[in-house]
Structure 1
Amino acid sequence: MILSLRSEVAEALEAALSSLDLPTDDLGIEEPPEDVPAVVASSAAFRLAGEVGSPPPEVAADVADAIDVDELTYVSRVDTEGAYLNFLPNETYFAETLDAGVDEEYGHLADRGESVVVEHTSANPTGPVHVGRARNPIIGDALANVLAFAGYDVERHYYVNDAGRQMAVFTWAYETFDEDDLDEEPSRDRIEYDLVRYYRKGNAFLEDASEEEVEAAEAEIEAIMRGLEAGDDEVYERVSEVVDQVLGGMRECLERLPAEFDEFVKETRFMRDGSTEDLAERLKETESATYEDEAWKVELDEFGIDKDLVFLRSDGTSLYTTRDLAHHEWKFDNFDRAVTVLGEDHKLQARQLDAALQILGNDTDVLDSIHYSWVNLPGGEGMSTRRGTGIMLDDLLDEAIDRAREEVESRMDDRIRDDDLDEADVARIAYQVGVGAVRYDIVAKQPTKAITFEWDRALDFEAQSAPYVQYVHARCCGILEGAGVDLDEGPAGLDDVDASLLETPEERALLETIARFPAVIEAAAEDLEPHQVATYTRTFAERFNAFYRECPVLADDVDPDLREARLALVAASRHTVANALSALGIAAPRSM
């Protein structure tokens, strides 16, 4: 709805400016502050004041006068506040918002006919996923969801580093040591927790063994790396035996978030099909390529990057970035757009990759990188899979679910005793709330800011948290069920109510907030910022709670027509908050 209103406002502004012989290249359309009753505003008068030589408020008044509100479908009037033009909605706007919101698909935008591949997580398959890296799958999955809501055809990819030294060390260690050589039991009964002990044992051996033993081990590790480079099937199978088992366990962990993938794309794919070798030869032929210090490099000074990109060793073997360049050209061949979610320590690498792709003649305007900072725990130490330090994501999720269960049980004692909820219900709600709390607390922050995860804040039912928002959905479901609505069948008959009966400030504010949802999805997808949706859900929860306090729905003294209109508003609220949470990858419980 607000997308239609914005389009209408844009057309009206453009026509008004043209009639005043003013430029229309920047209409200054934006969302007004919460205390302004408008839905759409324009700051164009600030820009235009210098061109016409008049004060911005005077320009704003002239533009407002040039707009014929009677010709508009969704606007009741245009007010000016200083240099701002504020567009206030009319009854048609509210009625169509309510009709749209009753549809359970509300917030899904039209198919754009454009494909996007979102690559995220891509942690090396050397062991369990730790908390420090949890931000990548949470942000990546939410971003993919938001893009799908916005009408893109989205694929979610995990790029598997199965050709580097780490995997060669892991493979050598797995084949060299026995269970009896290991110093510890697996900390969890899942395959990656079992196998990571070999990786740690191998690294400890390389640090502590004699020089002669280390040389022998390094020769075997080098042979594995060369075998992969040469496309040796036997070596590939040896490495894959380790990689695939560890990935299987990591997938189980990530599915708990949930973060699921359409494809695990292996790095060795681009070595075995010849595309890495072909790319390296093409790079050699460019004017930017040089051979020095026993390696082939690409000079990137013209891109403002003072560190050359090494793409080939003197012995002809490729590097991770060389394979990733081939990987990205494959993306360009198969998708209209590519988005990669990376840690902040990969910023230079991303710039080098973008520049090298341009040197190779690729259009990198279709490539975007999202960088995130780390997740810390209060008092937590640095995390390293190689050393076996840090807290695993599984442990964080377990504790989140346990803490959520305690909170849920304390709030639901009566219902549990009365058998309204059985053990399966309590376990499901605890899982939805606990995992939702972790996801929300992480995705709600701007990715570039480092965050410290704090339990009390994340699981606070009264503050701006996942449970706070989830509880709005549960409350909507409770009201609808109390009115006899079958939540699985949908609110029959609520798509033809009189929206003009919703005239209190709380009802209008909630309707306006519902109407904003498609535009929030649009903006979050355009800016690649899923935290915008999280910010919206907090405002939405506040608006719904204000409506709930002031506007009874099922009370006996509520007029039947008003009751139906308010039920429709609750149904629209339910779909809005459920879909907003879904875009963030968070469950919307029916009861809490």
Structure 2
Amino acid sequence: MFIAFRREVEAAIEAALDDLGYPTGDLGIEEPPEDVPAVLASSVAFRLASEAQAPPPQVAGEIADAIDLAGAERVASASTQGPYVNFTPSEAYFEGTLDAGQNDDYGRLPDTGESVVVEHTSANPTGPVHVGRARNPILGDAVARVMDFAGHDVTREYYVNDAGRQMAVFTWAYETFDEEDLDSDPERDRIEYDLVRYYRKGNQVLEDGDPEDVEEAEAEVDAILQGLEAGDEATYERVEEVVDQVLGGMRECLERLPAEFDQFVKETRFMFDGSTEDVAERLKAMDNAAIEEGAWQLDLEDFEKKLVFLRSDGTSLYTTRDLAHHEWKFEEFDRAVTVLGEDHKLQAGQLRATLDLLGNDVSQLEDLVYSYVNLPEGKMSTRAGTGVDLDDLLDEAVDRAEDAVRSRMDDRIRDDDLTEDDVERIARQVGIGAVRYDIVSKQPTKAITFEWEDALDFEGQSAPYVQYAHARTSGILSEADGAAAEFDDLDAGLLDTDAERALLKEIARFPAVVEAAADDLEPHQVATFARAFVDAFNAFYRECPVLAEDVDDDLRDARLALVAAAQHTLANALYVLGIEAPESM
């Protein structure tokens, strides 16, 4: 409803400006301050003041007088307040919002017909997922969800680095060492925790072993790399035996978030089908390509560091294969979104510049670069085996959430409301939801220091705060013994208090928030909306009894419909963020 309202406002302003002979460029449409009883405002008078040779308030008045709302079903009036033209909603706006909010998929936008591949996580399959990288799958999954909800045909991709030196080292170590050669037992009963010990042992030998052992190991690692480059099937099978096992365990971890994928695309694919070699040959033919220190390099404008695309031994690099990967994306999808850590910013810039030189339409490519998440303990390293794994973070989140739930149960008048199964379910929903919300609610470019007290605050800027509101809506509807959508002839005109109208306005905004978050690749906009929405719902809950005996049937039904619309809005906002919506807490 908000989107339709905005379109009517835009059309009315453009028509008025055209009638007055003003240019219709930037309409200056924005949301008014909270104390202004309007849904949208226009600051266009500031832009036109110079041309009109009049102060902005005078120009705003002139525009307001010229606005014709005869064909605007959802806009009731246009009035001025200083230099702003404010637009208030009609009863049809509230009726339409209440009606649309009864749908389970409220907020989902119509199909755009645009295919989008969202590549995220893509962590090297060398061991357990590290907590320092947790922002990538959480942010990437939320981006994919919000783009899907905004009507795009989304494919979630994990790009598997199965051809790099790390995997050659891992394969050699896996084939070389036995259990008795390893220094420790697995930290967790899952395959990647078992196998990462071989990887660590291999790196230890390569860094600190006897020179003869290191020389022999390096020769075997190089042989694996050369075998992959040559498309040798036997070498591929050796490497994939390690890759697939480790990746399987990593997927189990990521599914806890949850972060799921539609396809796992391996970089060896672009070596074996000849596309990497094709890219390298095209790069060699460029004027800015040359052999330096035995390796083929590309001198890119605006980059001090040259792009190496072939080693001195003729093998390709990750970037070379990724160029072929991206050209494949451009053929298969309308848009390609990649979620990257800030340490890949240079690489991403060089990739884009090179793709452009290769003749690709790089407007198809969008990079979402994020800063990292830090725990109070400080920086951690997977390779050294001293870091905190994502599994550890999620386990602790669930444990802490269970403590919080039990503490709240102790404060309840009835402590038998929740069973043990309920407590375990809520602890998982709240604990993992708290981690996701705390990470996805921040702007991607801002570094995060994760704090348990903030993430699990039932009263603060947190997932539990939003989840509890959803549980409250479910409780009201359950007590009413039926969803409000089953009632006929609902009258939004009965919902005329400030709290009811404020909640309806927030419900109306949700589809537009989804649209903006998808356009900007900023799922944190949905998190911000959810937090403000709960404030509006709680005000309604305090001020407007729904099932009290002195509430007549028509008003009860209208308020139940409003609660159902709030429930659908909250459930879908949480879904977009990848957070479960508990029905009880």
TM interval, shorter chain, is over 0.9
**Structure 2 partner of 1:281:** 281
**Structure 1 partner of 2:359:** 361
Q: Tell me the distance in 2 between the aligned counterparts of 1:414 and 1:288.
A: 71
Q: Tell me the distance in 1 between the aligned counterparts of 2:487 and 2:69.
A: 30
**Structure 2 partner of 1:451:** 448
Instruction: Please give the per-residue CA displacement for 1:146-199, whole angstroms capped at 9, x wherever unaligned.
Output: 000000000000001111111111111111110001111101000000000011
- Provide the TM-score with structure 2 as the length reference: 0.98
Matches within 5 A, 1:208-247: 208-247=208-247
Q: Tell me the distance in 2 between the aligned counterparts of 1:37 and 1:132.
A: 45
The structural deviation recorded for 1:359 is 0.3
Structure 1 residues 416 and 314: alpha-carbon distance in aligned structure 2, compared to 1, 3 A threshold: farther
**Structure 1 partner of 2:539:** 546
Aligned with residue 470 of structure 2, among 466, 473, 483: 473
- What SS does the aligned partner of 1:69 have? coil
Matches within 5 A, 1:468-507: 468-485=465-482, 490-494=483-487, 496-507=489-500
Matches within 5 A, 1:84-163: 84-163=84-163
Matched, 1:196 2:196: yes
Instruction: Please give the per-residue CA displacement for 1:21-74, whole angstroms capped at 9, x wherever unaligned.
Output: 111121122222333221122221111112222211111111111112343211
Q: Tell me the distance in 2 between the aligned counterparts of 1:345 and 1:581.
A: 30
Aligned with residue 347 of structure 1, among 341, 345, 348: 345
Amino acid at match of 1:364: V
Q: Tell me the distance in 2 between the aligned counterparts of 1:324 and 1:205.
A: 30
Matches within 5 A, 1:31-70: 31-70=31-70
The structural deviation recorded for 1:417 is 7.6
Amino acid at match of 2:215: E
Aligned with residue 393 of structure 1, among 387, 390, 393: 390
Amino acid at match of 1:537: A
**Structure 2 partner of 1:320:** 318
Judge conservation of contact 1:16–1:67 (CA < 8 Å) in 2: yes
Judge conservation of contact 2:310–2:316 (CA < 8 Å) in 1: yes
Judge conservation of contact 2:485–2:564 (CA < 8 Å) in 1: no
The structural deviation recorded for 1:415 is 8.2
Q: Tell me the distance in 1 between the aligned counterparts of 2:4 and 2:215.
A: 69
**Structure 2 partner of 1:176:** 176
The structural deviation recorded for 1:306 is 2.3
**Structure 2 partner of 1:375:** 373
- What SS does the aligned partner of 1:412 have? helix
**Structure 2 partner of 1:585:** 578
Please, which runs of 5 or more residues in structure 2 have no aligned partner? none
The structural deviation recorded for 1:79 is 2.2
Count of residue pairs the alignment pairs up: 585
Structure 1 residues 19 and 160: alpha-carbon distance in aligned structure 2, compared to 1, 3 A threshold: same
- What SS does the aligned partner of 1:323 have? helix
**Structure 2 partner of 1:165:** 165
Amino acid at match of 1:148: D
Amino acid at match of 1:187: E
- What SS does the aligned partner of 1:389 have? coil
Q: Tell me the distance in 2 between the aligned counterparts of 1:23 and 1:205.
A: 71
Amino acid at match of 1:393: L
For the aligned residue pairs, the C-alpha RMSD in angstroms reads 1.4
**Structure 2 partner of 1:336:** 334
Matches within 5 A, 1:402-481: 402-413=399-410, 420-481=417-478
**Structure 1 partner of 2:557:** 564
The structural deviation recorded for 1:410 is 2.4
The structural deviation recorded for 1:81 is 2.3
Q: Tell me the distance in 1 between the aligned counterparts of 2:199 and 2:332.
A: 35
Instruction: Please give the per-residue CA displacement for 1:426-469, whole angstroms capped at 9, x wherever unaligned.
Output: 21111110000000000000011111111111001111100000
Q: Tell me the distance in 1 between the aligned counterparts of 2:35 and 2:127.
A: 50
The structural deviation recorded for 1:363 is 0.4
Amino acid at match of 1:570: V
Q: Tell me the distance in 2 between the aligned counterparts of 1:345 and 1:418.
A: 50
- What SS does the aligned partner of 1:127 have? coil
- What SS does the aligned partner of 2:486 have? coil
Structure 1 residues 321 and 273: alpha-carbon distance in aligned structure 2, compared to 1, 3 A threshold: same
**Structure 1 partner of 2:271:** 271
Structure 1 residues 461 and 48: alpha-carbon distance in aligned structure 2, compared to 1, 3 A threshold: same
Q: Tell me the distance in 2 between the aligned counterparts of 1:518 and 1:273.
A: 43
The structural deviation recorded for 1:381 is 3.4
Judge conservation of contact 2:102–2:485 (CA < 8 Å) in 1: no
The structural deviation recorded for 1:83 is 2.0
Please, which runs of 5 or more residues in structure 1 have no aligned partner? none
**Structure 1 partner of 2:504:** 511
Q: Tell me the distance in 2 between the aligned counterparts of 1:310 and 1:20.
A: 59
The structural deviation recorded for 1:408 is 1.4
Judge conservation of contact 1:416–1:422 (CA < 8 Å) in 2: no
**Structure 1 partner of 2:521:** 528
The structural deviation recorded for 1:109 is 0.1
The structural deviation recorded for 1:367 is 0.5
The structural deviation recorded for 1:409 is 2.1
Q: Tell me the distance in 1 between the aligned counterparts of 2:280 and 2:35.
A: 58
The structural deviation recorded for 1:512 is 0.3
Amino acid at match of 1:353: L
- What SS does the aligned partner of 2:484 have? coil
Judge conservation of contact 1:200–1:387 (CA < 8 Å) in 2: yes
Q: Tell me the distance in 2 between the aligned counterparts of 1:502 and 1:570.
A: 12
Amino acid at match of 2:454: R
Q: Tell me the distance in 2 between the aligned counterparts of 1:131 and 1:416.
A: 39
Q: Tell me the distance in 2 between the aligned counterparts of 1:462 and 1:54.
A: 49
Judge conservation of contact 2:484–2:557 (CA < 8 Å) in 1: no
Report which stretch shifted further, 309-318 or 466-475.
Answer: 309-318
Q: Tell me the distance in 2 between the aligned counterparts of 1:492 and 1:536.
A: 24
Q: Tell me the distance in 1 between the aligned counterparts of 2:8 and 2:538.
A: 31
The structural deviation recorded for 1:420 is 4.4
Instruction: Please give the per-residue CA displacement for 1:358-397, whole angstroms capped at 9, x wherever unaligned.
Output: 000000111100011111111x232222110211100110
Q: Tell me the distance in 1 between the aligned counterparts of 2:191 and 2:80.
A: 64
Instruction: Please give the per-residue CA displacement for 1:304-356, whole angstroms capped at 9, x wherever unaligned.
Output: 22222111123321110000000000000100000000000111111100000
Q: Tell me the distance in 2 between the aligned counterparts of 1:82 and 1:414.
A: 51
Judge conservation of contact 1:501–1:562 (CA < 8 Å) in 2: yes
Matched, 1:296 2:293: no
Matches within 5 A, 1:12-27: 12-27=12-27
Q: Tell me the distance in 2 between the aligned counterparts of 1:263 and 1:63.
A: 53
Report which stretch shifted further, 207-216 or 144-153.
Answer: 207-216
Q: Tell me the distance in 1 between the aligned counterparts of 2:331 and 2:339.
A: 20
Instruction: Please give the per-residue CA displacement for 1:264-286, whole angstroms capped at 9, x wherever unaligned.
Output: 11111100111000111111222
Judge conservation of contact 1:121–1:158 (CA < 8 Å) in 2: yes
Q: Tell me the distance in 1 between the aligned counterparts of 2:532 and 2:573.
A: 12
